[in-house]
A and B are shown apart, each in its own frame.
Chain A
Amino acid sequence: DSGVTQTPKHLITATGQRVTLRCSPRSGDLSVYWYQQSLDQGLQFLIQYYNGEERAKGNILERFSAQQFPDLHSELNLSSLELGDSALYFCASSVVGDTEAFFGQGTRLTVV
């Protein structure tokens, strides 16, 4: 168990809908990262937050947004969902940048 908790584990929703994925980092970790894993694009970095502030942005679509709250948990919001958004979404956390990140078990999103 990495100590990173993601909810829900599975999510099935229809095209056009909006969902929120939640992540609780390891105790004491200030950095939270979101990744998308799909068959065609592999593991892609989406976004990083550090102590509530956005620090780095990757290939995140405009339909997606994230935030980190004062208690350090993070949420990834996905809107106007398309079939291609079906993927495994991982959250990871670390103490500070430039150290290894610990991953949650992921949320499997299926858009139908």
Chain B
Amino acid sequence: AQSVAQPEDQVNVAEGNPLTVKCTYSVSGNPYLFWYVQYPNRGLQFLLKYITGDNLVKGSYGFEAEFNKSQTSFHLKKPSALVSDSALYFCAVTQWGTGFQKLVFGTGTRLLVSP
């Protein structure tokens, strides 16, 4: 069964500093990996995905993520954090070629960017 772990409940970073939100996954085959962000009282917004190809994936709002197969990780990064990036971030995984979309989400990491 596929699973995702987000080891940090909260990440604190100062505005202008780089940020990393960690994610590790477990699947039996090739994974599809996703990052979503949730702002208060809003739905989940898609940030980026890894399907195949380059290990560094660029997404919305300046975010990027690095796929590392040997470490089964898909950490979310941004070179310079903004206060407006403060939100709840979810990593998700589904399995390649299953023909359906059963996204399994991590528990979420709250990012707090201080001015």
Contacts and interface: CB of A to CB of B under 8 A. Distances in A.
Contacts, number: 66
Interface stretch (B15-23, B61-69, B72-80, B96-104): B96-104
A105 B100 contact: no
A85 to B, nearest CB: 19
Interface stretch (A42-50, A66-74, A75-83): A42-50
A101 B101 contact: yes
B99 A98 contact: yes
A98 B97 contact: yes
Contacts of A58: 102
A31 interface: yes
Interface string A1-31: 0101000000000000000000000000001
Q: Which size bracket describes the interface of B in this complex?
A: 20 to 34
A98 B94 contact: yes
B94 to A, nearest CB: 7
Contacts of A86: none
Q: Which size bracket describes the interface of A in this complex?
A: 20 to 34
Q: Which residue, B45, B49, B103, B108, has most C-beta atoms of chain A within 10 A?
A: B103
Given A98-B94, A98-B96, A100-B49, A48 B44 contact: no
Contacts of B100: 31, 48, 50, 55-56, 97-98
B98 A105 contact: no
B100 to A, nearest CB: 5
Given A98-B32, A98-B94, A31 B44 contact: no
Contact of B43 (A50, A98, A103): A103
Closest 3 CB pairs of A and B: A43-B105, A103-B43, A103-B44
Interface of A: 2, 4, 31, 33, 35, 42-45, 48, 50, 55-56, 58, 90, 92, 94, 97-106
